[in-house]
Amino acid sequence: MTAEKWGFSPGTCAFLSYKSVPAMRLLTNKDTSVLKDLHFSNGIIEYDIEPEDNDFTGVFFRRKDSKESEYFYLRVFGGGIPGMMVAVQYAPILHGVNLWNLLPYYQGPASFGKGRWNHIKLVISGEQMLVYVNDPVHPTLEITHLEGATREGSIGFDGKAVIANLVVTPDATEGLSPVAGFDPYYSDPRYIRHWSVSQPIDLPKGRELTREDLPKAGTSWSGIEAERLGMVNLTRMFGNSESRRYVWLKCRLKAPEAQVRQVAFGFNNEVWVFVNGKMAFVDKNLYDELMRKQPRARCSIENASFTLPLQAGDNEILIGVANDFYGWAIITRLDSMEGIEALSE
């Protein structure tokens, strides 16, 4: 923990003896201090941390740059509160976007706090990771699939905190499999997994999509597939939305007879659903508004539900998805796909 081994902006770090050990004090919430001359892929990262405010502090690994990295962090305000699901979080950084709002299942409660050392241990192996927070035996988080785009890179820290006793042990994985864990919904036929997607279009604040905005002949479409747990991850394809913009997602369902299905629906952040050219559902999942969906504006199958009227034969489903806040995605699960065929475009 000496200054010459780290890359950081002037005035953002201090190196000192703290509680009788060499330490690095991070002075800001926005800047990152990066360990020089280290290319980390798999192994163990251990360190002690003493947070110094109630905000966020975390560790980047397999960090290519500020745009592409893996990231584990503490939400300091939640440390030690029993059952506080958002106390700790794993999220990848993709195209500069922290995907915390797309991954509610990669967060959880933990016991840690200010005014004392807290010991963090990450065991990283291929596509999996175990996180231990102040407990050497029981993992705080079990990450069955690391979602980032990088497989090796540097290590860095951010958030107001003091870091000490950093030990990196390459290739020590304690028997953790490098193969991603099973997707529990892989064989569930109720998820709509195959979509076509248009290119993003700017959408001014306050404007809603209507039937007049439906895609016209000549619209350019690309295929996009649902990832694990049925999520169609638009951030992975389109990156960050600096301002409000939208895309159309399209699929076709062939029904043996006219029927009404119930849809469980996850989304970030705004959606307009059209069935055979008619509006069927509109909703918003906005973090800073009272109408945000559970769980806490994250994209989840718990967000919403709506009825999907299908006619006998072919049905065109069009979903407008708008975003200007962190990650954007949808998850679409029907109550039954029995007899219904998803048609390729």
First to last CA, the chain: 56
Give residue 80's pLDDT.
Answer: 85
Q: pLDDT-derived band of residue 345, with 50, 70 and 90 as boundaries?
A: low
pLDDT digits (tens, 9 = 90+) for 117-170: 999 999 999 999 999 999 999 999 999 999 999 999 999 999 999 999 999 999
CATH number for the domain that contains residue 198:
2.60.120.260
Q: Are 333 and 198 members of one domain?
A: yes
Last-in-domain residue among 170, 203, 226: 170
Q: Is the pLDDT of residue 344 over 80?
A: no
CATH number for the domain that contains residue 151:
2.60.120.560
Average pLDDT value over all residues in the chain: 97
| Token pair in block for residue 268 | 């970030």
Q: Are 151 and 231 members of one domain?
A: no
Query: Is position 187 within any domain?
Result: no
Q: Are 223 and 295 members of one domain?
A: yes
pLDDT digits (tens, 9 = 90+) for 13-60: 999 999 999 999 999 999 999 999 999 999 999 999 999 999 999 999
Q: What are phi and psi of 235, to 5 degrees?
A: -65, -40
Q: Are 32 and 141 members of one domain?
A: yes
Of 272, 237, 255, 264, whose CA–CA distance to 313 is shortest? 255
Query: Is position 68 within any domain?
Result: yes
Query: Is position 180 within any domain?
Result: no
| Token pair in block for residue 148 | 């980032």
Query: Is position 241 within any domain?
Result: yes
pTM flag (> 0.85): yes
Query: Is position 80 within any domain?
Result: yes
Write out the residue range of the structural domain in which residue 198 sits.
194-343
Last-in-domain residue among 137, 170, 203: 170
- Three-state secondary structure call for residue 326: coil
Distance between CA atoms of residues 278 and 213, nearest Å:
12
Query: Is position 186 within any domain?
Result: no
Q: For residues 133, 135, 136 and 139, what is the CA-based torsion angle, rounded to 10 degrees?
A: -60
Give residue 343's pLDDT.
Answer: 87
Q: Report strand pairing: 6-7 vs 32-35.
A: antiparallel
Distance between CA atoms of residues 99 and 298, nearest Å:
10
- What distance separates the 2 farthest-apart alpha carbons in the chain? 75
Between the alpha carbon of residue 170 and those of residues 42, 123, 148, 167, 181, the distances in Å are: 6, 10, 19, 10, 22
In contact, 7 and 32? CB cutoff 8 Å: no
Structurally, how many domains does the chain consist of? 2
Give residue 77's pLDDT.
Answer: 96
Of 14, 56, 4, 58, whose CA–CA distance to 35 is shortest? 4
Q: Are 142 and 39 members of one domain?
A: yes
pLDDT digits (tens, 9 = 90+) for 272-331: 999 999 999 999 999 999 989 999 999 999 999 999 999 999 999 999 999 999 999 999
Cis preceding-peptide flag for 269 (omega within 30 of 0):
yes
Over range 204-226, report the average pLDDT.
96
pLDDT digits (tens, 9 = 90+) for 298-311: 999 999 999 999 99
Q: Are 156 and 55 members of one domain?
A: yes
Query: Is position 278 within any domain?
Result: yes
Q: Are 13 and 153 members of one domain?
A: yes
Between the alpha carbon of residue 137 and those of residues 17, 109, 131, 132, 134, the distances in Å are: 29, 16, 10, 8, 9
Which position has the token pair 């800001």? 28
